[in-house]
Structure formats: structure tokens, C-alpha cells
Structure 1
Amino acid sequence: MNPNVIFLNSFLDVSEETFEKLTSISTFRKIEKGVQIDKSGEIPSKIYLLISGIMRAYLSSETGKEFNKNFFMPFSFVGSLTALIKKRPSRLTYETLTECKVYELNFDDIIKFCKEDILISNLYSKVLERIFIRYEERQLEFISMDATERYLKLRKKIPGIDGLIPQYHIASYLSITPVQLSRIRKKIDKN
């Protein structure tokens, strides 16, 4: 079975007809490493289904310092949802950290289909629920786990992350410095 159908069925049983409708409004793209698919200050119009590779969402300060908000692994929906819904400029930039394969969808087309097809509307609702749950889990990590625990959880979530993503990106995601991350790694390696 098509892995994309399997992924969508993890939210809700998706008929072949519904899958075909979604396919009709999507474009497959291969994106090189280091490409910004959505930029801070711009109004996005697309949402992406990440099929392979790793992406990140980050915020840039006025001084140019970057703060990683999220990493995205295959079979994730990627995009500035708040900016898409409100039709306002995004505060975040979305960038490929490795070569990525995605399905690109126009957000307005999805919303149009939601109004016409209850199955697509239900799928959209389930996707939003999953996004909210992951957001809440991430917030709870920050208030209930120390940096070492967050790092170990991230390594479990993204096996081999240390070889895939530069240390400063990982440290930023964990809200620690690269030096602190280096110390945590040394301590883990000793144990």
C-alpha cells in the first residue's frame, strides 16, 4: 500500500477517492539542503507533507540569533499554521536541514475541499489535533525535563541526529548552548 495513504490513515480512514482528491491539489518536490520554503515576514500559502529528510522551524532575533522551534521528520505536516490560518506574515522560517522530498499543497485549496467534502474536513480536524498534541507535549518537556532528558528524548525521536544536524541547531532546539550540549554528550558517553 502507498506509504502516503498509510500515513493519512493514521489520522482517519481515507478512501481512494479522498486520496485522489488530495493528490490532485498536491505537487511532488525534491528540495535541496538549506532551502527556506517559508520565510519570516512573508505570508505563506503552502503546507507541506514531508516524505523524506529533516526540516526545521526557527525564529530569528533582531541580532540575527536563531532559535529552533521544531524539527520535522518524515510524514509530518510542515508549515506556519498560524500564518496560514490568519493570512498574516509568519514569524518563523522553515528550512530544509537535509535534502527533502515533499508534497506541496495550497492551503486555500485544502480549506475549499474541507467545505465541500466532510471526509477531508474530518481529516483536517484530525491533523490539527495531532499538531496540537505534539505542541503541548513539547511545552510539557520544557517544564518537566532537564536538558539531558530533553536531549535523550530527541535522540530517541530522531535516531542518528548527531550526524544529521549540526550541534548548534540541536542546542538551540534544546534551549541550551553548544558548550552545554557538548558536556551533556560527554557525560552520556561516560555512562
Structure 2
Amino acid sequence: MDNSHKIRLHDTFSAIAPLSENDVELAVQYFTTQTYQPKEYIFHSGDLVSDVHFVLDGIGRYFYIDEQGNERNKSLVRVGGAFTSMGSLIESSPSPFFAQALTECTVASIRYESLVELSRSYRNWGEFLRKLFERLVLKKERREAGFLLLSAKERYQEFLTEFGDESKNIPLRHVAMYIGVTDVTLSRIRREMGLT
């Protein structure tokens, strides 16, 4: 791993939990980096996923394809987030969804078993893994509450708050899928907000 990736790895992980440069140096041997182009798949539905792919740069998405062939965005992932399938990692079951880059996306990948071993061997890595799971649960909880309690416009406003300037890099059709509306509804919301 080159030095610029080590620095990005440290900066990205330190935003989740306190990790020193030495902590990252201990783990660097377990990571590989790869850059995906827009629309390139990180993994497919049906794959057995054994790695956690941490986003160092760019934006991607998780999505399902239903029986009619329609795509449904499960989640959007940006710097500090990660791509994986918990079902694959924990139960060795095929991933039910796809992971795909929306922009050029650089990831640092580690086998889940190696991440768990780091967390058992080094206190700071244990704290990192705990914080990572907490963030995952909170994100899922907030998204679920948004669908149950917020209007489409409020969900779009939440999206804009969460993604800030990065929202401009995400195609509107993916934003619409993410907040659970049609392209037409999102256009109307954007028009009402004076964004078009």
C-alpha cells in the first residue's frame, strides 16, 4: 500500500475511532486498495462476500433488483462508509444485493476475519470495530425512521444535509430511489425548493 493510501486510511478510520499511525501500520498488511470506475461493481448479488471494503474516496451504492428487473437503492455509501454483506460475513450466505461505484471510488479492502482478529489483538481496533457497528445500526435506524415518519420532501432535505456538496455527484435517479420516490416526484420537490 502506498503512503498516500496509508494516510487516507488513517484519516478515514480516525474519524470513526481513535487510531494512531502505529495502529494503522499494524493493520496495513491486511489491506488491499482498488479504484472502481463509475458503474463498476464491487460485488454482485449472489456473491459470497468475505471482505469489508472501506471507502477512501468517492460514492457508491447498495441496490437490489426486483423480479420485474427494477433497481431499488438500499443505501448510498461515501468516505468513511463500507461495502459488505453482513449475511455473507456472518452466515456465509450469498449477498442479496449488489454494491456498485457511482463515482470513481477508491476502497481499502480487508477480510472480515482479519478485521475481527485485529479487534481481538489490539484494543484500539476493538474500539474501531465497535464504533463501526454502532454507526451501521444508527444509520439503519435513522433511515427506517425516515421512511416511517418523514414526508418525501423531508427525506430529500435529510439526504441533502447528510451528503452536503457530495449530493451533486449523485445522479438524481439514484437519489430518488434512495429516498423512495419516483424521478417525477423528486423533480417536483426540487422545483418547490427552488433547486431547478
The one of 170, 178, 182 aligned to 1:165: 170
For 1:122, the equivalent position in structure 2 comes to 127
- Normalised to the residue count of structure 2, the TM-score between the two structures is 0.88
Q: 1:190 to 1:154 in 2, by over 3 A?
A: closer
Once the two structures are TM-superposed, the CA of residue 25 in structure 1 deviates from its matched residue by 0.5
Answering whether residue 104 of structure 2 is matched by residue 99 of structure 1, we say yes
Once the two structures are TM-superposed, the CA of residue 83 in structure 1 deviates from its matched residue by 2.2
Answering whether residue 118 of structure 2 is matched by residue 139 of structure 1, we say no
Answering whether residue 25 of structure 2 is matched by residue 20 of structure 1, we say yes
Distance in structure 2 (CA, Å) of the matches to 1:9 and 1:163: 26
Further displaced range: 40-49 or 159-168: 159-168
Once the two structures are TM-superposed, the CA of residue 165 in structure 1 deviates from its matched residue by 2.3
Answering whether residue 34 of structure 2 is matched by residue 29 of structure 1, we say yes
For 2:3, the equivalent position in structure 1 comes to none
Equivalenced residue count is: 191
Once the two structures are TM-superposed, the CA of residue 45 in structure 1 deviates from its matched residue by 1.3
Once the two structures are TM-superposed, the CA of residue 44 in structure 1 deviates from its matched residue by 0.5
Distance in structure 1 (CA, Å) of the matches to 2:173 and 2:15: 33
**Tell me, which stretches of 5 or more residues in structure 1 are unaligned?**
none
For 1:76, the equivalent position in structure 2 comes to 81
Distance in structure 1 (CA, Å) of the matches to 2:194 and 2:148: 25
3-state SS of the aligned residue for 1:181?
Answer: helix
For 1:42, the equivalent position in structure 2 comes to 47
Once the two structures are TM-superposed, the CA of residue 161 in structure 1 deviates from its matched residue by 5.5
1:148-185: CA deviation from partner (whole Å, max 9, x where unpaired) = 01111112222345642222211111111111111111
The AA in structure 2 aligned to 1:95 is Q
Moved over 6 A (4+): none
Distance in structure 2 (CA, Å) of the matches to 1:23 and 1:127: 18
Distance in structure 1 (CA, Å) of the matches to 2:59 and 2:176: 16
Once the two structures are TM-superposed, the CA of residue 14 in structure 1 deviates from its matched residue by 1.7
Once the two structures are TM-superposed, the CA of residue 190 in structure 1 deviates from its matched residue by 7.8
The AA in structure 2 aligned to 1:104 is S
- Normalised to the residue count of structure 1, the TM-score between the two structures is 0.90
For 1:10, the equivalent position in structure 2 comes to 15
1:8-52: CA deviation from partner (whole Å, max 9, x where unpaired) = 233332233321122110012111111111111111111111111
